[in-house]
Structure 1
Amino acid sequence: MSTVTELGYVGIEASDLAAWERFGVDLLGMQVGSRSNEALTLRMDDAVHRWIVVEGDADDLAFTGFGCATQSDLDAIAARLRAAGNTVTEGDAQLCAARQVQRIVVTSDPLGNRVELYVGLAVADTPFASGRLVSDFVTGAGGAGHQVLIERGMDRQVLLDWYGLLGFKVTDVIDQELAPGIVASVTFLHCNGRHHTVALANMPFPKRMHHFMVEATEISDVGLAYDRCMDAKQPFEMTLGMHPNDRMFSFYVRTPSGFNVEFGWGGLVIDESSWQVQHLDRLSSWGHRPPNLVADLLQA
């Protein structure tokens, strides 16, 4: 069956492009791809962009781009979506030029999140060069990273069925009881060897996306980025910790638009042919504590 192969880029509508440039370049170690009064693109590797930040008031997820290996794969996925009753629109030359892809079609998931399916994301004219990283970002066959979408009360099976049309499969499920009668539930989906590319979360959060994860190839870059964010007084969502399912060592920092970036290292690469779905009862093996709790403990 034809499937998407990667999460190639993510689009954000942001009210402060200058803050996003500082956040992405100075704190996380990305590189500016292009810059104008209306948009900013950020690079993580030799692709022309991985983040597309457009000026606007929403301060939230604007679109997600999933790559397809061939034109026939894109046609097959678009046909499945249409057969299931979804509106799928062929992108014009202007949109292809804006996203710097050979071809693109546009649809929406059941939550109303704009999804762009493309072939042929362009390679930049110059090699990626970070002014902050001592290593590189993990991209390649695993794509740009992963995103965690907020379900907002929707029936999860509806979402699983829809993302299944793109070729996503369940990796595992975590249900953690945070307090009596209050459960945070997340289902993790993969489309390549990266443990998960999309996750669906049933938890209170005001944005469409809880976080987007970026991964470094060396553990020291996690600590260095952690220190840069702390020194810059960038708000944290969670301190250093590790997840039990993808084994990512990471922290969560708040973006200028109010959702989070998880900056990590050591994420699990799975064998899709033999992977067995797991059910776990905790979101973190250790750490990932709220920063105010850590501050209180340290002060005490």
Structure 2
Amino acid sequence: MSKVTELGYVGVEASDLDAWEHFSAELLGLQVADRTDDTLALRMDHKAHRWILVRGEADDLAFTGFECATDADLDALVANLRAAGSEVTEGGPGLAAARRVRRVVVTTDPAGNRVELFVGLADAETPFSSGVLRSSFVTAEGGAGHQFLMERADRQVILDWYGILGFSITDYLTEEVAPGVFADAVFTHCNGRHHSVAWAAMPFPKRMHHFMIEVADINDVGLAYDRCMDAKQTFSMTLGMHPNDQMFSFYVRTPSGFDIEYGWGGLIIDDDTWEVQRGHQLSTWGHRSPQVVAELLQP
């Protein structure tokens, strides 16, 4: 069965590209690949880019690119999506050049998010170089990271649509995060990374709650945590660990108002033996609100 192989790149419509450049390169350790007045492309590895920011007022997810291994796989997915009633259009050479891919098609998922399916994301001409990272970002077979999206449509319809792309359910988590307020999430994967796309029914104003980027050395999590703290960035959650993907991480607010989860040690699963899990705890420990921590530290 034809399927996507990874979450290859993410696009954000951002109102303050200068703030994003400082945040992503100097605090998180990404590398600026290209910068114009209206665009900012960022690298995480040997690929030409993994993040594409375009100037705009939405300050939210603009598009997600999922890679296909071959043109035949892409053609099969296009046919299957159209058979299921989705509109799919060829991106054309202009969009392919802008995304640095050989070929790209464009569609929309049931939640209204723009999805780009592509083949052949180009390698960069130079090795990846971070000004602050000690190790490297974990991409390889897992792709750029994972995104945690708001459902904004019937869950089963969303899961069925992403099932056409080859996504499978990894697990479910439901927790009462405040009196009468529940985070109800489902996590899906398309490769060994525990999840590449997660969906949640919870109050949040953006399409994307967070995007996770993973580093290869636990020390890089602590160093990034300190850099963000010293720069007086807004934290959503302090250091902690999730029970399902076993990610050690913190959450920091981006200049666009959604979060980056900055993590290490994410679980790699074997699809042949994995059994869907159901949990009721979002974090094993930590991941507390900074306000709560500040109150607890008061003498």
Q: Same fold (TM over 0.5)?
A: yes
Deviations 1:152-205 (Å, cap 9, x if unpaired)?
A: 3x2110110111010000000001123454321110000000000000011111
Does structure 1 residue 245 correspond to structure 2 residue 226? no
Deviations 1:11-65 (Å, cap 9, x if unpaired)?
A: 0000000000001000000000000001000000010000000001110000000
Name the CA distance, whole Å, in 1 between partners of 2:161 and 2:23.
Answer: 33
Paired position in structure 2 for 1:2: 2
Name the CA distance, whole Å, in 2 between partners of 1:234 and 1:127.
Answer: 29
Paired position in structure 2 for 1:121: 121
Name the CA distance, whole Å, in 2 between partners of 1:179 and 1:28.
Answer: 30
Does structure 1 residue 293 correspond to structure 2 residue 292? yes
What residue identity is the alignment partner of 2:195?
A: H
Matches of residues 13-92 of structure 1 in structure 2 within 5 Å?
Answer: 13-92=13-92
Paired position in structure 2 for 1:101: 101
What residue identity is the alignment partner of 1:213?
A: M
Paired position in structure 1 for 2:278: 279
What residue identity is the alignment partner of 1:4?
A: V
What residue identity is the alignment partner of 1:242?
A: M
What residue identity is the alignment partner of 2:220?
A: D
Alpha-carbon distance, 1:111 to partner: 1.0
Paired position in structure 2 for 1:170: 169
Matches of residues 260-279 of structure 1 in structure 2 within 5 Å?
Answer: 260-279=259-278
Name the CA distance, whole Å, in 1 between partners of 2:245 and 2:255.
Answer: 26
Name the CA distance, whole Å, in 1 between partners of 2:155 and 2:87.
Answer: 20
Name the CA distance, whole Å, in 2 between partners of 1:268 and 1:59.
Answer: 30
Secondary structure class of the residue paired with 2:73: helix
RMSD between aligned residues: 0.8
Paired position in structure 1 for 2:134: 134
Paired position in structure 2 for 1:196: 195
What residue identity is the alignment partner of 2:141?
A: A
**Structure 2 unmatched ranges of 5 or more:** none
Identity of aligned residues (%): 69
Normalised to the residue count of structure 1, the TM-score between the two structures is 0.98
Cα pair distance change 1:244/1:80, threshold 3 Å:
same
What residue identity is the alignment partner of 2:149?
A: L
Name the CA distance, whole Å, in 2 between partners of 1:31 and 1:180.
Answer: 41
Paired position in structure 1 for 2:226: 227
Paired position in structure 2 for 1:214: 213
Deviations 1:112-138 (Å, cap 9, x if unpaired)?
A: 100000000000000000011110000
Name the CA distance, whole Å, in 1 between partners of 2:178 and 2:297.
Answer: 24
**Structure 1 unmatched ranges of 5 or more:** none
Paired position in structure 1 for 2:156: 157
Name the CA distance, whole Å, in 2 between partners of 1:116 and 1:55.
Answer: 19
Secondary structure class of the residue paired with 1:98: helix
Give the count of matched residue pairs: 299
What residue identity is the alignment partner of 1:87?
A: E
Deviations 1:209-259 (Å, cap 9, x if unpaired)?
A: 000000000000000000000000110110000000000000000000000
Name the CA distance, whole Å, in 2 between partners of 1:94 and 1:87.
Answer: 20
Deviates more, 1:176-185 or 1:99-108: 176-185
Deviations 1:54-97 (Å, cap 9, x if unpaired)?
A: 00111000000000000000001111110010000001110000
